[in-house]
Amino acid sequence: MARNGGRTWAIVLAGGDGTRLAALTEAVHGRPVPKQFATVTGDRSMVQATLDRVARIVPPERTVIVIGRAHLAWARAQLGAYTATTLVQPASRGTATAILYALTWIRLRERDANVLVFPSDHHVENVTRFVEAVRIADEAARALGKLTVVGVSPEAGDPDYGWIVAGAPVAPACCSLECFVEKPGAEVALRLHACGGLWNTFILAAPASLVAELARRHLPEHARRFDALDRFAFAPGAPDLDELYAAIEPADFSKHVLETARDLLVVSMEGTGWSDWGTPERVLASLQGTPAETLLRARLDAAVRRMRAPASRRNGPRAGPARALQNRLAR
Protein backbone atom coordinates (compact mmCIF):
# COMPACT_ATOMS: atom_id res chain seq x y z
CA MET A 1 0.00 0.00 0.00
CA ALA A 2 1.26 3.47 -0.92
CA ARG A 3 2.81 5.65 1.72
CA ASN A 4 3.55 9.36 1.58
CA GLY A 5 6.69 10.82 3.13
CA GLY A 6 6.39 14.48 2.12
CA ARG A 7 5.43 17.39 4.32
CA THR A 8 1.83 18.47 4.73
CA TRP A 9 0.58 21.56 2.89
CA ALA A 10 -2.78 23.30 3.28
CA ILE A 11 -5.04 24.52 0.48
CA VAL A 12 -7.68 27.08 1.55
CA LEU A 13 -10.46 27.53 -0.99
CA ALA A 14 -11.63 31.16 -0.96
CA GLY A 15 -12.62 31.81 -4.55
CA GLY A 16 -16.39 31.32 -4.54
CA ASP A 17 -19.09 33.98 -4.66
CA GLY A 18 -21.31 32.62 -1.86
CA THR A 19 -24.56 33.74 -3.45
CA ARG A 20 -26.80 31.80 -1.04
CA LEU A 21 -25.46 33.80 1.91
CA ALA A 22 -25.51 37.12 0.06
CA ALA A 23 -28.68 38.36 1.76
CA LEU A 24 -27.07 38.03 5.19
CA THR A 25 -23.65 39.42 4.33
CA GLU A 26 -25.15 42.37 2.48
CA ALA A 27 -27.52 43.13 5.36
CA VAL A 28 -24.68 42.99 7.89
CA HIS A 29 -22.20 45.06 5.87
CA GLY A 30 -24.64 47.34 4.07
CA ARG A 31 -23.14 46.36 0.71
CA PRO A 32 -22.38 43.15 -1.21
CA VAL A 33 -19.39 41.28 0.25
CA PRO A 34 -18.24 37.80 -0.85
CA LYS A 35 -19.09 35.57 2.11
CA GLN A 36 -15.54 34.37 2.77
CA PHE A 37 -14.53 38.01 3.30
CA ALA A 38 -17.60 38.86 5.39
CA THR A 39 -17.41 39.33 9.16
CA VAL A 40 -20.58 37.74 10.51
CA THR A 41 -19.46 37.37 14.14
CA GLY A 42 -16.59 38.83 16.12
CA ASP A 43 -13.91 40.81 14.33
CA ARG A 44 -12.59 38.16 11.94
CA SER A 45 -13.90 37.37 8.48
CA MET A 46 -14.62 33.76 7.56
CA VAL A 47 -11.39 33.36 5.62
CA GLN A 48 -9.37 34.93 8.45
CA ALA A 49 -10.96 32.56 10.98
CA THR A 50 -10.19 29.65 8.64
CA LEU A 51 -6.54 30.67 8.34
CA ASP A 52 -6.27 31.02 12.12
CA ARG A 53 -7.48 27.42 12.52
CA VAL A 54 -5.26 26.11 9.73
CA ALA A 55 -2.19 27.75 11.29
CA ARG A 56 -2.57 25.37 14.25
CA ILE A 57 -2.06 22.43 11.87
CA VAL A 58 0.12 23.64 8.98
CA PRO A 59 2.63 26.53 9.08
CA PRO A 60 1.84 29.60 6.93
CA GLU A 61 4.82 28.98 4.64
CA ARG A 62 3.11 25.74 3.53
CA THR A 63 -0.39 27.23 3.23
CA VAL A 64 -1.86 28.26 -0.13
CA ILE A 65 -5.01 30.41 -0.42
CA VAL A 66 -6.93 30.33 -3.70
CA ILE A 67 -8.97 33.47 -4.40
CA GLY A 68 -10.73 34.94 -7.42
CA ARG A 69 -9.38 37.90 -9.35
CA ALA A 70 -12.66 39.73 -8.74
CA HIS A 71 -11.98 39.57 -4.99
CA LEU A 72 -8.48 41.04 -5.01
CA ALA A 73 -9.45 44.21 -3.15
CA TRP A 74 -10.93 42.25 -0.23
CA ALA A 75 -7.98 39.86 -0.20
CA ARG A 76 -5.44 42.69 -0.06
CA ALA A 77 -7.30 44.32 2.81
CA GLN A 78 -7.66 41.15 4.88
CA LEU A 79 -4.75 38.86 4.03
CA GLY A 80 -1.84 41.29 4.22
CA ALA A 81 -0.89 40.16 7.73
CA TYR A 82 -0.74 36.50 6.68
CA THR A 83 2.43 35.02 5.23
CA ALA A 84 0.62 32.26 3.36
CA THR A 85 0.83 32.23 -0.44
CA THR A 86 -2.17 33.67 -2.26
CA LEU A 87 -2.94 32.30 -5.73
CA VAL A 88 -5.33 34.32 -7.88
CA GLN A 89 -7.71 32.53 -10.23
CA PRO A 90 -8.63 34.45 -13.39
CA ALA A 91 -12.22 33.20 -13.00
CA SER A 92 -14.27 30.82 -10.88
CA ARG A 93 -14.32 27.35 -12.41
CA GLY A 94 -15.43 25.20 -9.48
CA THR A 95 -13.69 23.51 -6.57
CA ALA A 96 -11.89 20.88 -8.65
CA THR A 97 -10.21 23.53 -10.77
CA ALA A 98 -9.20 25.54 -7.70
CA ILE A 99 -7.74 22.46 -6.01
CA LEU A 100 -5.77 21.49 -9.13
CA TYR A 101 -4.45 25.06 -9.45
CA ALA A 102 -3.09 25.00 -5.88
CA LEU A 103 -1.94 21.38 -6.21
CA THR A 104 0.11 22.19 -9.31
CA TRP A 105 1.81 25.09 -7.53
CA ILE A 106 2.59 22.91 -4.49
CA ARG A 107 3.92 19.95 -6.50
CA LEU A 108 6.29 22.21 -8.42
CA ARG A 109 7.89 22.86 -5.02
CA GLU A 110 7.42 19.55 -3.22
CA ARG A 111 6.47 16.63 -5.42
CA ASP A 112 5.71 14.21 -2.59
CA ALA A 113 3.66 16.57 -0.43
CA ASN A 114 0.58 15.60 1.51
CA VAL A 115 -2.26 18.11 1.18
CA LEU A 116 -5.14 19.23 3.37
CA VAL A 117 -8.04 21.04 1.72
CA PHE A 118 -10.18 23.52 3.69
CA PRO A 119 -13.22 25.48 2.52
CA SER A 120 -13.24 29.04 3.88
CA ASP A 121 -16.92 29.31 4.89
CA HIS A 122 -17.06 27.05 7.93
CA HIS A 123 -17.89 27.88 11.54
CA VAL A 124 -16.13 25.96 14.32
CA GLU A 125 -16.74 26.45 18.04
CA ASN A 126 -14.23 23.98 19.52
CA VAL A 127 -11.04 24.53 17.54
CA THR A 128 -9.00 22.11 19.66
CA ARG A 129 -11.21 19.17 18.70
CA PHE A 130 -11.27 20.36 15.11
CA VAL A 131 -7.46 20.33 14.99
CA GLU A 132 -7.35 16.83 16.52
CA ALA A 133 -9.73 15.42 13.90
CA VAL A 134 -7.90 17.01 10.96
CA ARG A 135 -4.58 15.70 12.23
CA ILE A 136 -6.06 12.18 12.44
CA ALA A 137 -7.21 12.51 8.83
CA ASP A 138 -3.76 13.75 7.77
CA GLU A 139 -2.06 10.85 9.53
CA ALA A 140 -4.45 8.32 7.96
CA ALA A 141 -3.87 9.74 4.49
CA ARG A 142 -0.11 9.58 5.02
CA ALA A 143 -0.02 6.09 6.53
CA LEU A 144 -2.50 4.43 4.18
CA GLY A 145 -1.90 6.46 1.04
CA LYS A 146 -5.60 7.20 0.56
CA LEU A 147 -7.79 10.26 0.27
CA THR A 148 -9.50 10.85 3.61
CA VAL A 149 -12.63 12.95 4.11
CA VAL A 150 -13.59 14.53 7.43
CA GLY A 151 -17.25 13.90 8.32
CA VAL A 152 -19.41 15.29 11.12
CA SER A 153 -22.14 13.59 13.12
CA PRO A 154 -25.32 15.38 12.00
CA GLU A 155 -27.58 17.34 14.29
CA ALA A 156 -30.60 16.73 12.04
CA GLY A 157 -31.68 15.14 8.77
CA ASP A 158 -30.74 18.23 6.76
CA PRO A 159 -31.25 17.57 3.02
CA ASP A 160 -29.09 20.57 2.08
CA TYR A 161 -25.85 18.93 3.23
CA GLY A 162 -23.77 16.36 1.41
CA TRP A 163 -23.80 13.05 3.30
CA ILE A 164 -21.26 10.25 3.82
CA VAL A 165 -21.94 6.64 4.66
CA ALA A 166 -19.02 5.15 6.62
CA GLY A 167 -18.08 1.48 6.43
CA ALA A 168 -15.79 -0.77 8.44
CA PRO A 169 -12.97 0.61 10.64
CA VAL A 170 -9.56 0.47 8.96
CA ALA A 171 -7.45 2.42 11.50
CA PRO A 172 -7.99 4.19 14.83
CA ALA A 173 -10.85 6.70 14.39
CA CYS A 174 -10.89 6.04 10.64
CA CYS A 175 -13.31 4.00 8.49
CA SER A 176 -13.73 3.08 4.87
CA LEU A 177 -16.04 5.40 2.95
CA GLU A 178 -18.91 3.48 1.38
CA CYS A 179 -20.65 6.23 -0.58
CA PHE A 180 -21.57 9.90 -0.93
CA VAL A 181 -25.14 11.17 -1.13
CA GLU A 182 -25.04 14.78 -2.28
CA LYS A 183 -27.94 16.91 -0.99
CA PRO A 184 -30.59 14.18 -0.84
CA GLY A 185 -34.30 14.78 -0.50
CA ALA A 186 -35.78 15.28 2.97
CA GLU A 187 -36.94 11.66 3.31
CA VAL A 188 -33.56 10.22 2.35
CA ALA A 189 -31.76 12.67 4.66
CA LEU A 190 -33.89 11.50 7.59
CA ARG A 191 -33.03 7.87 6.81
CA LEU A 192 -29.33 8.72 6.55
CA HIS A 193 -29.50 10.50 9.90
CA ALA A 194 -31.24 7.52 11.50
CA CYS A 195 -28.67 5.01 10.20
CA GLY A 196 -25.59 6.96 11.33
CA GLY A 197 -24.70 8.87 8.18
CA LEU A 198 -22.30 11.81 8.46
CA TRP A 199 -22.30 15.29 7.00
CA ASN A 200 -19.55 15.84 4.44
CA THR A 201 -17.39 18.80 5.53
CA PHE A 202 -15.33 18.75 2.31
CA ILE A 203 -12.20 18.91 4.48
CA LEU A 204 -9.85 16.52 2.72
CA ALA A 205 -6.46 14.93 3.37
CA ALA A 206 -4.47 13.07 0.72
CA PRO A 207 -1.08 12.55 -0.85
CA ALA A 208 -0.74 15.19 -3.55
CA SER A 209 0.23 12.48 -6.05
CA LEU A 210 -3.04 10.65 -5.37
CA VAL A 211 -5.13 13.79 -5.94
CA ALA A 212 -3.31 14.28 -9.25
CA GLU A 213 -3.96 10.65 -10.16
CA LEU A 214 -7.66 10.93 -9.32
CA ALA A 215 -7.88 14.06 -11.48
CA ARG A 216 -6.28 12.23 -14.43
CA ARG A 217 -8.80 9.42 -13.99
CA HIS A 218 -11.97 11.46 -13.48
CA LEU A 219 -11.14 14.87 -15.00
CA PRO A 220 -8.55 14.02 -17.66
CA GLU A 221 -8.82 17.30 -19.61
CA HIS A 222 -8.37 19.37 -16.45
CA ALA A 223 -5.43 17.24 -15.37
CA ARG A 224 -3.79 17.48 -18.80
CA ARG A 225 -3.99 21.26 -18.85
CA PHE A 226 -2.62 21.71 -15.33
CA ASP A 227 0.12 19.11 -15.87
CA ALA A 228 1.37 21.30 -18.73
CA LEU A 229 1.95 24.32 -16.47
CA ASP A 230 5.42 25.19 -15.24
CA ARG A 231 6.70 27.72 -12.71
CA PHE A 232 6.56 30.54 -15.27
CA ALA A 233 2.80 30.09 -15.62
CA PHE A 234 2.33 31.42 -12.08
CA ALA A 235 4.23 34.66 -12.62
CA PRO A 236 2.16 37.88 -12.57
CA GLY A 237 0.83 38.63 -16.05
CA ALA A 238 1.72 35.21 -17.47
CA PRO A 239 -0.78 34.35 -20.23
CA ASP A 240 -0.87 30.56 -19.78
CA LEU A 241 -3.17 30.62 -16.77
CA ASP A 242 -5.66 33.03 -18.35
CA GLU A 243 -5.80 30.86 -21.45
CA LEU A 244 -6.32 27.74 -19.35
CA TYR A 245 -9.19 29.26 -17.38
CA ALA A 246 -10.80 30.66 -20.53
CA ALA A 247 -10.88 27.20 -22.12
CA ILE A 248 -11.64 24.92 -19.18
CA GLU A 249 -15.10 23.79 -18.08
CA PRO A 250 -16.23 24.27 -14.45
CA ALA A 251 -15.80 21.14 -12.34
CA ASP A 252 -16.86 20.29 -8.81
CA PHE A 253 -14.47 18.07 -6.85
CA SER A 254 -17.23 16.37 -4.85
CA LYS A 255 -19.39 15.60 -7.87
CA HIS A 256 -16.75 14.82 -10.48
CA VAL A 257 -14.12 13.12 -8.32
CA LEU A 258 -15.23 12.05 -4.84
CA GLU A 259 -18.62 10.62 -5.79
CA THR A 260 -17.08 8.38 -8.46
CA ALA A 261 -13.76 7.53 -6.78
CA ARG A 262 -13.26 4.31 -4.85
CA ASP A 263 -11.21 3.21 -1.85
CA LEU A 264 -11.59 6.42 0.16
CA LEU A 265 -11.55 6.86 3.94
CA VAL A 266 -13.55 8.95 6.41
CA VAL A 267 -12.70 10.36 9.85
CA SER A 268 -15.61 11.40 12.04
CA MET A 269 -15.22 14.76 13.79
CA GLU A 270 -17.12 15.07 17.07
CA GLY A 271 -17.93 17.90 19.47
CA THR A 272 -16.61 20.80 17.41
CA GLY A 273 -19.84 22.76 16.82
CA TRP A 274 -18.99 22.67 13.10
CA SER A 275 -21.34 24.23 10.56
CA ASP A 276 -21.10 25.00 6.86
CA TRP A 277 -22.33 28.59 6.68
CA GLY A 278 -24.04 28.21 3.33
CA THR A 279 -27.35 29.90 4.20
CA PRO A 280 -28.57 32.55 6.67
CA GLU A 281 -30.76 29.94 8.41
CA ARG A 282 -27.75 27.73 9.02
CA VAL A 283 -25.75 30.62 10.45
CA LEU A 284 -28.49 31.46 12.96
CA ALA A 285 -29.04 27.80 13.84
CA SER A 286 -25.36 27.27 14.64
CA LEU A 287 -25.26 30.42 16.81
CA GLN A 288 -28.57 29.78 18.57
CA GLY A 289 -28.52 30.72 22.26
CA THR A 290 -25.05 32.30 22.12
CA PRO A 291 -23.98 35.92 22.58
CA ALA A 292 -22.93 35.87 18.92
CA GLU A 293 -26.54 35.27 17.87
CA THR A 294 -27.71 38.23 19.96
CA LEU A 295 -25.06 40.47 18.40
CA LEU A 296 -25.86 39.31 14.86
CA ARG A 297 -29.59 39.90 15.29
CA ALA A 298 -28.81 43.37 16.68
CA ARG A 299 -26.78 44.12 13.57
CA LEU A 300 -29.70 43.00 11.38
CA ASP A 301 -32.07 45.22 13.39
CA ALA A 302 -29.71 48.14 12.81
CA ALA A 303 -29.73 47.40 9.08
CA VAL A 304 -33.54 47.50 9.06
CA ARG A 305 -33.49 50.85 10.87
CA ARG A 306 -31.10 52.22 8.26
CA MET A 307 -33.47 51.02 5.56
CA ARG A 308 -36.40 52.83 7.19
CA ALA A 309 -34.47 56.07 7.68
CA PRO A 310 -34.76 58.90 5.12
CA ALA A 311 -32.30 58.48 2.28
CA SER A 312 -30.20 61.46 3.45
CA ARG A 313 -29.60 59.78 6.84
CA ARG A 314 -28.68 56.27 5.68
CA ASN A 315 -25.14 55.15 6.46
CA GLY A 316 -25.18 52.11 4.18
CA PRO A 317 -26.10 52.21 0.51
CA ARG A 318 -27.95 48.91 0.44
CA ALA A 319 -29.61 48.08 3.73
CA GLY A 320 -32.85 46.97 2.06
CA PRO A 321 -32.23 43.19 2.01
CA ALA A 322 -32.27 43.11 5.82
CA ARG A 323 -36.07 43.39 6.01
CA ALA A 324 -36.73 40.41 3.73
CA LEU A 325 -33.97 38.48 5.50
CA GLN A 326 -35.45 39.10 8.94
CA ASN A 327 -38.88 37.96 7.75
CA ARG A 328 -37.29 34.85 6.29
CA LEU A 329 -35.40 34.00 9.48
CA ALA A 330 -38.44 34.61 11.64
CA ARG A 331 -40.49 31.92 9.93
Instruction: Lowest mean pLDDT of 169-178, 293-302, 318-327, name the range.
Output: 318-327
Query: In terms of Cα–Cα distance, which of 201, 203, 204, 52 is closest to 128?
Result: 52
Q: Catalogue the long-range contacts made by 127-132 (C-beta closer than 8 Å, 24 or more residues apart).
A: 127/53, 127/56, 127/272, 129/269, 129/270, 129/271, 129/272, 130/53, 130/269, 130/272, 130/274, 131/53, 131/56, 131/57
Instruction: Lowest mean pLDDT of 23-37, 122-136, 197-211, 295-309, name the range.
Output: 295-309
Question: Average pLDDT of 109-124?
Answer: 95
pLDDT at 156: 66
Question: Average pLDDT of 176-193?
Answer: 83
Spell out the residues 6+ positions from residue 72 whose beta carbon is closer than 8 angstroms to its own. 88
Residue 141 main-chain phi, psi, to 5 deg: -60, -40
- The domain locations on the chain are 8-278, 291-330
Instruction: Lowest mean pLDDT of 69-78, 247-256, 317-326, name the range.
Output: 317-326
What global pTM score does this model have? 0.90
CA atoms of 109 and 247, how far apart (whole Å): 26
Residue 171 clears pLDDT 90, i.e. is over it = no
To the question of domain 8-278 being in CATH 3.90.550.10, the answer is yes
